[in-house]
Amino acid sequence: QLRLVESGGGLVQPGGSLRLSCAASGFNLDYYNIGWFRQAPGKEREGVSCSRRGSSSTNYADSVKGRFTISRDNAKNTVYLEMNSLKPEDTAVYYCAAAIRAPNPLFRPSEYVHWGQGTQVTVSS
């Protein structure tokens, strides 16, 4: 069974931090490009960050550059999204997803073939 499971979401105050985890089972994340996406109510799903397969290359949406960091722990078959200086507009369900080939465009959801169930992030005072 091929699964991605997100965790680490919750309620945080503006300016606070959270670290999301995406744990894979049934396949090795080393062989995949991994993306983080988010979707707020009434909004389209948007790409947040991507970790490229087999390299240290990372990409970020303009809205999160300088605040979010994507990383991998190969031993744990897990990818993380560290989120700092959170804003109310960051509130959304966050999903991790895996793409076998290099996604083009980078944040086109249909380029990713495996998806987790999502974890809720709420930024509010």
The answer on pLDDT for 1 being more than 80 is: no
The pLDDT tens digits for 32-73 are 999 999 999 999 999 999 999 988 899 999 999 999 999 999
Q: Which residue has the higher pLDDT, 23 or 56?
A: 23
**What pLDDT sits at residue 54?**
81
Task: Look at residue 25 and tell me whether its pLDDT is greater than 90.
Answer: yes
Count CA within 13 A, CB hemisphere, residue 71: 9
pLDDT of residue 91: 98
On the 0-12 / 13-18 / 19+ scale of CB atoms within 10 A, 67 is middle
**Residues 6 or more apart whose Cβ sits within 8 Å of residue 103:** 33, 35, 50, 111, 112
Per-residue pLDDT tens for 67-117?
Answer: 999 999 989 999 999 999 999 999 999 999 999 999 999 999 999 999 999
List the one residue out of 58, 61, 72, 67 whose CA is nearest residue 86. 67
> Residue type for 74, please?
N
